[in-house]
Structure 1
Amino acid sequence: MDQPTVGILHPGSMGAAVAACAAKNANSVLWCTDGRSPTSAARAQEFGLTPMAELPELLNRSDIVLSLCPPAAAEDLAREVAGHGFTGVYVEGNAISPERAVRIAQLLEPGATVVDGGVIGSPPVRGKSPALYLSGPAAATARVEALFAGTAVQTRTLGTEIGQASALKLAYASFQKTSRVLVALAYGLAREHGVDQELIAVAARRTDSYLSEPQYVATAAARAWRWGPEMEEVADSLAAAGLPPEMLRAAASTMARWHDAKDDADLTLDEALDQLGRL
């Protein structure tokens, strides 16, 4: 059985947890300490990842590299990796447009083999089991599937075209994440007029509606620093498809009001709504 060495770039909450799952079928999982925060270091240690001092060292030792970072950093990160002459399998797993996925593949090929990836679901901890959708060259997607076999990360290959996995990720995100923004706006309006409890009662009769989960607004606010740029990626993809992007750009602009809520696990619904209304 192939036991590759795996490198994880920017091990955030999703990346570190996904990399830890890969460790089951890998020789080792490496991460680069250069420029990373103490929080990242603590997270990497918690998940048992092996530190490397510099990126070239990580790339030279890695057969497969997983890129899971904020969307805005994805292309620059790929360009940096390409500059070091990486020749393994590069899994572009970020929430980016299909067009950016193609550009990233062009940056890295022909030296490296690029697999387009899209993660749907929460990080694979505490019983969570996200799906990792893949597209790209068949031999490379098969290696990635084998890497996560028997783990909490469920893989599914969509085809051989770079951009398919990214398109699926953004198509789902366009609904799932902007709907949370609409919930926040609905509750903000209701609260302003003293009828927020009545809105909860109305929504409770429609349990299939996100309006029945107002407590999730605070969680959305804490993640908005990542979700906003993702919505810009969706907007770019809609525009490229000849569809109107304005609603998604508006959602990104709305999320930008939550910039002070970044990763605030203690944020309440009222605090999130207060920040949303702050000019």
Structure 2
Amino acid sequence: MDQPTVGILHPGSMGAAVAACATTNAAAVLWCETGRSTASAARAAQFGLTPVAELAELLDHSDIVISLCPPAFAEDLARDVAEHRFAGVYLEANAINPTRVQRIAALLAPTATVVDGGVVGSPPVRGKTPILYLSGSVAGTARIEALFAGTAVQTTVLGTEVGKASALKLAYASFQKTSRVLTALAVGMAREHGVDQELIEVASRRTDSYLAEPEYVAKTAARAWRWGPELEEAADTLAAAGLPPEMLRATASTLARWDDAKDDGELTLTEALDQLAQP
């Protein structure tokens, strides 16, 4: 197959770096100058992207279009593309929920082939190698795999169902990003009482991620009746230190869904997750 021409709709720090990887297997990677900042222009120039004046020009010349933008703009961008009846492969690679991805796929049908994508990892610069998870039609995902073959962007296909890649991205992001906020709250609380270094020493004895140990969820459920009130106390301590308590109060509210699992040593992961899904 001839090398495709690719359009990147939003050359931000992630978008421009991913687009730069695409230049390896593309005839050209285009971006639209209209409405973009000088910072975007500098990034695009740094990564060797080719400027065009209007979105219509980008879409007319592109076989593959990559949408990588802040989540709030994803559907507006897709509508703009749909108005031009784009007929190539549209990689929807934003951190948006599966329902929104499916709406975008319906919006761009039947002319475009929408591939759901989720980038896990840092922008592919200075040796970083993010994974681009893909789901959608076999033909569509194959085009994206070929586009990034041999580059710093690794691809993994999850299946043909649009929404799977976005679900994986958001499931992982929910843990990674929330855990960092929890770290800030924990260290902030400890600092207020002069024990932040001791907290870090306690935590350093355990380096594994709970995300890699889902069997621990059942143990959490069995202890939720005790942990919820404990987190309410921690939330009060945060509030007294001028730190936001809402995240811990929300966690306590979540734990309350496991009240019926009190001290149940036989509870399985499946049972715990089923209970969590029942208000």
Q: Residue 171 of structure 2 corresponds to which residue in structure 1?
A: 171
- State the superposition RMSD in angstroms: 1.9
Count of residues in Structure 1 that have an aligned counterpart in Structure 2: 216
CA distance in 2, matches of 1:153, 1:68: 14
Gaps of 5+ in 1: 211-245, 252-279
CA distance in 2, matches of 1:209, 1:161: 29
Is residue 2:202 matched to residue 1:185?
no
Question: TM-score, structure 2 length as denominator?
Answer: 0.74
Q: Residue 11 of structure 2 corresponds to which residue in structure 1?
A: 11
Q: Residue 229 of structure 1 corresponds to which residue in structure 2?
A: none
The sequence identity of aligned pairs, in percent, is 79
Q: Map Cα deviations across residues 116-141 of structure 1 (whole Å, 9 max, x no partner).
A: 00000110001100000111111111
CA distance in 1, matches of 2:76, 2:67: 11
CA distance in 1, matches of 2:101, 2:203: 39
Superposition deviation, residue 207 in structure 1? 2.6
- Which amino acid in the other structure matches residue 208 of structure 1? D
Q: Residue 242 of structure 1 corresponds to which residue in structure 2?
A: none
CA distance in 2, matches of 1:191, 1:49: 46
Q: Residue 142 of structure 2 corresponds to which residue in structure 1?
A: 142
- Which amino acid in the other structure matches residue 129 of structure 1? T
Gaps of 5+ in 2: 211-245, 252-279
8 A contact 1:96–1:170 mirrored in 2: yes
CA distance in 1, matches of 2:194, 2:128: 37
Superposition deviation, residue 209 in structure 1? 5.8
CA distance in 1, matches of 2:144, 2:132: 10
- Which amino acid in the other structure matches residue 46 of structure 1? Q
8 A contact 1:203–1:209 mirrored in 2: no
8 A contact 1:69–1:94 mirrored in 2: yes
In structure 2, the residue corresponding to 1:66 is in which secondary structure?
Answer: strand
CA distance in 2, matches of 1:160, 1:82: 22
Alignment of 1:1-279 (within 5 A): 1-208=1-208
CA distance in 2, matches of 1:209, 1:89: 37
Larger RCO (CA under 8 A, 6+ residues apart):
1
CA distance in 1, matches of 2:66, 2:108: 14
Q: Map Cα deviations across residues 92-138 of structure 1 (whole Å, 9 max, x no partner).
A: 00000000000000110101110000000110001100000111111
In structure 2, the residue corresponding to 1:25 is in which secondary structure?
Answer: coil
In structure 2, the residue corresponding to 1:177 is in which secondary structure?
Answer: helix
In structure 1, the residue corresponding to 2:185 is in which secondary structure?
Answer: helix
Give the ranges of 4+ consecutive aligned residues of structure 1 lying more than 4 Å apart after TM superposition: none
CA distance in 2, matches of 1:118, 1:61: 25
Superposition deviation, residue 247 in structure 1? 6.2
CA distance in 2, matches of 1:84, 1:209: 46
CA distance in 2, matches of 1:56, 1:76: 15
CA distance in 1, matches of 2:156, 2:176: 20
In structure 2, the residue corresponding to 1:24 is in which secondary structure?
Answer: coil
In structure 2, the residue corresponding to 1:198 is in which secondary structure?
Answer: helix
